[in-house]
Structure 1
Amino acid sequence: MRRKPNPLLRIALLVSGVLLLIAAPLASPLPGPGGTLLAAAGIILILRNSAWARHRFVRIKARWPRVGDLIDRILVRASAKRRRQRAKSVAAN
């Protein structure tokens, strides 16, 4: 079972995730995939440290499954990997 981090650490990680999301469009004109990586890192930090954001993310995934699947693939979420593996094994049987 994972321990909850210190509340100040959670707030600091949440704020850094928001800052990364703000910096992503600013870095996108630069050569390379910098903006995409910053956006993905920001989303990861926000989803890991905010119950409200996780709840909203689940609702978005339920309403628009294709968008949710795309975000899962970008973030390489373990739950998405398990769902794809389960779907493959069911389809194979």
Structure 2
Amino acid sequence: MQDRHPVSRALQLVLGGLLILGAAVVGPLPGPGGIFLFAGGLVLILRNSRLAQVKFARAKRRWPRIGGLVDRTMRRRSALRRHARDKRLRSR
């Protein structure tokens, strides 16, 4: 986790929570707007909360296909490294 000012981290956590709540409100409307709000909120929360990171890692172990998809979508460094490694191993 990067070193950020605690106030900045708190504001980003609150913004992430508001985006996720906004996704629940916008979700029933036609169009994919709720998906983007939820993804943005998830990114902000995962980047600023150690507890959320631990819970996300547990969920990825329980549902690996969905966890891998979310990692690639969020362009997490660990997923990019894993994807490059798997691609390299498959080409041998």
Give me the TM-score of the superposition, normalised by structure 2.
0.88
> Match of 1:5, SS?
coil
- Residue 70 of structure 2 is aligned to residue 71 of structure 1: yes
User: 1:13-64 deviations in whole A, cap 9, x for unaligned?
Assistant: 0011011011102112334321111000000000000000001111111122
Decide whether aligned partners of structure 1 residues 36 and 64 sit closer, same or farther in structure 2, where only a CA change above 3 A counts. same
In 2, distance between residues paired with 1:84 and 1:25?
A: 31
- Unaligned runs of at least 5 residues, structure 2: none
Whichever residue aligns with residue 59 of structure 2, its letter is I
Could you tell me how far 1:3 is from its partner in structure 2? 4.9
Partner of 1:51: 50
- Unaligned runs of at least 5 residues, structure 1: none
Greater Cα shift, 45-54 or 82-91 = 82-91
In 1, distance between residues paired with 2:5 and 2:75?
A: 26
Partner of 1:24: 23
Alignment coverage as a number of residue pairs: 92
- The root-mean-square deviation of aligned C-alpha atoms, in Å, is 1.6
In 2, distance between residues paired with 1:3 and 1:73?
A: 20
Whichever residue aligns with residue 34 of structure 2, its letter is G
In 1, distance between residues paired with 2:52 and 2:2?
A: 19
> Match of 2:4, SS?
coil
Partner of 1:33: 32
In 2, distance between residues paired with 1:72 and 1:80?
A: 6
